Structure 1
Amino acid sequence: MRSDTRTAYHPRMTISPPFAPEGNVLVVGGGLVGASLAIALDAAGCRVTLVEAAAPRTDAQPSYDERNLALARTTVNGLDSIGVWTLTAGQATPIRHIHVSRAGEFGSARLDAKKHGVDALGWTLPARELGTALLRRLDTCKQLVRLAPASLTGLTKFDDGWRAEINTPEGTQHIDAALLVGADGTESFVRAQLGIEADVHDYQQTLFVCTVTPERDPENRAWERFSDEGPIAMLPLGERRCGLVLTVDTDVAADVAGLNDADFIALAQKRFGWRLGRLSRPGKRHPYAIKRVAARSLIAPRAVLVGNAAQTVHPIGAQGFNLGLRDALTLAELIAESVDPGAQDLLERYASRRAPDREGTMAMSHDLVRFACMPQPLLAPFRSLALLAYDRVPPLQRILARRGMGFRGEPPRAVLERVP
């Protein structure tokens, strides 16, 4: 799918603002990607207003939840560049090995950090810990204006920007901005107000995440295992715990949610196998419905979409936040080099820069879940041979490793720095 720079937006009215927006950027959505973008823009000296529906507390922000994030190497580089990683590195667990396989088939692919000249391929970090670090870093921003809790209730286009109507506990505020950024998630209000349509694919799957304790130490190894029922992943955490990611068909999700701990662990054990020995002590389970949402355009006049507002991908391969952060840091890089953050040529460069990474990552996640989880016996030898090729053929393994670490297309310069 190509990243189209056209938009279906038709403003209901155009007005002249009472004052010029003076380069102000309005970011709607203070989740993981929106907060990261606001921090990066503030660090670049931009005037930024961040609007977030949740109160500025970790327990109030929906995206700062119990998921265990697999952060690509480029993501950690990017978080370090904006002063966030140092605030949370102590809670992260390095991923030094990755093992990919399919139940009942002979092929597997293994990646080793040392073999690719790095100390880690990525890191595992609870979303709540990253959220806490982002809130602490937001507190140090110099020019950033944060409105939280607050909600965007209306938008009006004028020649040089947007006027946003913001509902806050103190009453309604009107903010003029040269650039409007929609970072407000899969069900983006900004995307809808801009008239940008999205292609939606419901996988009819539900994801359950929790922590478990394996009998054997995972030794900084992440596991991804496919089956007819969907993928299951095991991510290394501190204190010999693991983050379990279990996918089930939506029509049985209610039954799985109702299982007691012993039966849930039995299901996870059956799906994952015994490579880590017996699993035990499951933590609180959290279900998430899975669907793919792809905006048909990333940009509109003086407006842009980032993160899940631009694309929501299947969690297979753990690419969602990683992809969204590269959105945010690419946009921040372009804005920092421009006089006008909402200039059309800037937005078109953003869409062009993001196209290879966005399209490649979305195609990978979508095709992989269909190919690797399709209950088709005739595919079995081809899947096994593909995994063996990635395991044994060095050029293919380098491609797999680099893309897994987030090096695709033209990444933002901030993610190319080495982790300290």
Structure 2
Amino acid sequence: MPVDPDPANTPPCHDVLIVGGGLVGASLAIALDRLGLDVGLIEAAPPGSLPAVFDERNLSFAEATVNALTALGVMQKLHAPTGAIRRIHISRCGDFGRAVLEAHDHGREAFGQVVIARDFGDALEARLAELPKLMRYRPVRFVGLESGLADAASINGYRAVRVSDDAGERVLHTRLLVAADGTRSQVRDALGIESDSHDYGQTLFVSRLRTERAPDGTAYERLGEHGPTALLPRGDRHFGLVHGVASSEAEAVAALDEPDFLQRVQEVFGWRVGRFLSCGRPSTYPAIRTVARRLTAPRAVLVGNAAQTVHPVGAQGFNLGLRDALTLAELIEAARTTDPAADCGAAELLAAHVERRQVDREQTLAFSHGLARLTANDLPWLGPLRSLGLFALDRLPSAQAAIVGGALGYRGHVPTLCRAGAERSMT
């Protein structure tokens, strides 16, 4: 069992120090465990509690993500049944046509799986508890960099990181500092890395939805002027609902009682799964895109939402962030295989990470942003073009190739763990 360090003692210097114990940070810690490294994980949540990100949201895991998390021993820890995505149904309010993508047409049983975030958090925690070498600092928060060293490593090739807990502030040292602390990353700010944000003017309502017809493996993406209304097939005979509204209307929508909320969503979505019967109390999240202008600083790297937070349309966010983490772990493994004493924070390694992530990151960012902007734009002349696009996507294999590759999680350089167990990869 991993041991939570004694705050009164100064811990040893780490090879890798990860700030953030959420989806990506915890996954990275698990991926690094087999490399024999000294890894530290800074977590805001105390033992016995999960970070707030592990709530009732529904996560859509691409095939590549399922492969990797299975290889890391995480999928096996899930308790709730997952929901297979066997087809994707895409349409838009006010436009003609629709597109249906079938997994079996592309040699797959499923494009991916729907997982409840809280269950995933429990599975990650169970897997982390099996890592005896991992040093977990919890509850601890990142304060800053020692002496304001944003653009230079500290003495002797280490970063000096200031953290705080109930006992006060102290300093930790690491060869490589990993920012996995989310969209409002304090580490990114301390490193002096600027970011660009775009507010889509949308608020997303997320809930569990019971319908007249149980899920049959179809994930529905109903696009509209104020964002998507998506139904994801869960494994418990419910759908995971994501309903986008204009941010100016969010307060009024949040005040609706359950029957009125169901009626609103039914009017937007239609009757493809029959009558909407009940839903849990929705949670709300703003749709804001945040993209770091660079991914690295000396002995530091950004992963997950700290590197980029994308619009949830197309369900790309966590899948992209996990590939950030797995690419970093793969490069460190390759370096340590050649030289067991290789420096995890070497400039050459971080440059290679940026290069490997470029195609996947740029294409996924462009896809998510473009889809969110195009489908929400209500200019009259765009309607016929979108309808033609849906027609082509539904009938032309060549039009489906790029969409399907992204849905499966195969863009650019694909980490080896993402290909584990797959019959073949796609590019």
Same topology, TM > 0.5: yes
- CA deviations on 1:127-163 (whole Å, 9 max, x unpaired) are 0010000000000013110011101112124141211
Structure 1 unaligned spans of 5+: 1-17
- Paired with 1:274 and 1:165, the residues of 2 have a C-alpha distance of 54
Contact 2:210 2:237 in 1 (8 A): yes
Q: Partner of 1:401 in structure 2? A: 404
- Paired with 1:405 and 1:398, the residues of 2 have a C-alpha distance of 11
- Paired with 1:279 and 1:364, the residues of 2 have a C-alpha distance of 31
The alpha-carbon deviation at position 275 of structure 1 amounts to: 0.5
Select which of 33, 39, 44 maps to 1:53.
Answer: 44
Q: Partner of 1:74 in structure 2? A: 64
Contact 1:147 1:168 in 2 (8 A): no
Deviates more, 1:105-114 or 1:355-364: 105-114
Which secondary structure does the structure 1 equivalent of 2:280 belong to?
Answer: coil
Q: Partner of 1:327 in structure 2? A: 324
Which AA in structure 2 matches 1:259? L
Contact 1:43 1:82 in 2 (8 A): no
Contact 2:88 2:101 in 1 (8 A): yes
- CA deviations on 1:153-207 (whole Å, 9 max, x unpaired) are 1212414121112212344332110000000000000000000000011111111
Q: Partner of 2:294 in structure 1? A: 297
Q: Does 1:25 align with 2:16?
A: yes
Which secondary structure does the structure 1 equivalent of 2:184 belong to?
Answer: coil
- CA deviations on 1:288-310 (whole Å, 9 max, x unpaired) are 01100000000000000000000
* Alpha-carbon spacing, 1:19–1:282, altered in 2? closer, same or farther (3 Å): closer
Which AA in structure 2 matches 1:252? E
By relative contact order (CA 8 Å, sep 6+), the higher-ranking structure is 1
Q: Does 1:343 align with 2:343?
A: no
The alpha-carbon deviation at position 239 of structure 1 amounts to: 3.3
- CA deviations on 1:56-101 (whole Å, 9 max, x unpaired) are 335x411111110111111111111211111117521111111011
Structure 1 stretches (4+) deviating beyond 6 angstroms? none
- Paired with 2:309 and 2:68, the residues of 1 have a C-alpha distance of 20
Q: Partner of 1:275 in structure 2? A: 272
Which secondary structure does the structure 1 equivalent of 2:409 belong to?
Answer: coil
Which secondary structure does the structure 1 equivalent of 2:279 belong to?
Answer: coil
The alpha-carbon deviation at position 19 of structure 1 amounts to: 11
The alpha-carbon deviation at position 337 of structure 1 amounts to: 1.8
Structure 2 unaligned spans of 5+: 1-9, 147-152, 336-341
The alpha-carbon deviation at position 335 of structure 1 amounts to: 1.0
Residues 164-179 of structure 1 aligned to structure 2 (within 5 Å): 164-179=161-176
Which AA in structure 1 matches 2:357? R
Q: Partner of 1:249 in structure 2? A: 246
Deviates more, 1:146-155 or 1:257-266: 146-155
Contact 1:80 1:419 in 2 (8 A): no
Deviates more, 1:125-134 or 1:162-171: 162-171
The alpha-carbon deviation at position 398 of structure 1 amounts to: 2.5
Which AA in structure 2 matches 1:308? N
Which secondary structure does the structure 2 equivalent of 1:281 belong to?
Answer: strand
- Paired with 1:165 and 1:363, the residues of 2 have a C-alpha distance of 36
Q: Partner of 1:111 in structure 2? A: 101
The alpha-carbon deviation at position 399 of structure 1 amounts to: 2.2
Select which of 16, 19, 35 maps to 2:26.
Answer: 35
Q: Partner of 1:374 in structure 2? A: 377
* Alpha-carbon spacing, 1:419–1:170, altered in 2? closer, same or farther (3 Å): farther
Which secondary structure does the structure 1 equivalent of 2:381 belong to?
Answer: helix
* Alpha-carbon spacing, 1:140–1:170, altered in 2? closer, same or farther (3 Å): farther
The alpha-carbon deviation at position 251 of structure 1 amounts to: 0.7
Contact 2:64 2:418 in 1 (8 A): yes
- Paired with 1:238 and 1:291, the residues of 2 have a C-alpha distance of 29
- Paired with 1:152 and 1:229, the residues of 2 have a C-alpha distance of 36
Which AA in structure 2 matches 1:139? A
Q: Does 1:150 align with 2:140?
A: yes
The alpha-carbon deviation at position 43 of structure 1 amounts to: 2.3
* Alpha-carbon spacing, 1:130–1:20, altered in 2? closer, same or farther (3 Å): closer
Q: Does 1:258 align with 2:270?
A: no
Which secondary structure does the structure 2 equivalent of 1:136 belong to?
Answer: helix
Q: Partner of 1:361 in structure 2? A: 364
Select which of 46, 49, 54 maps to 1:64.
Answer: 54
* Alpha-carbon spacing, 1:86–1:97, altered in 2? closer, same or farther (3 Å): same
- Paired with 2:47 and 2:324, the residues of 1 have a C-alpha distance of 23
- CA deviations on 1:377-398 (whole Å, 9 max, x unpaired) are 2111110111111111112212
The alpha-carbon deviation at position 284 of structure 1 amounts to: 1.8
Q: CA RMSD in A?
A: 1.6
- Paired with 1:37 and 1:110, the residues of 2 have a C-alpha distance of 34
Deviates more, 1:122-131 or 1:171-180: 171-180
* Alpha-carbon spacing, 1:20–1:70, altered in 2? closer, same or farther (3 Å): closer
Contact 1:46 1:336 in 2 (8 A): no
- Paired with 1:275 and 1:258, the residues of 2 have a C-alpha distance of 26
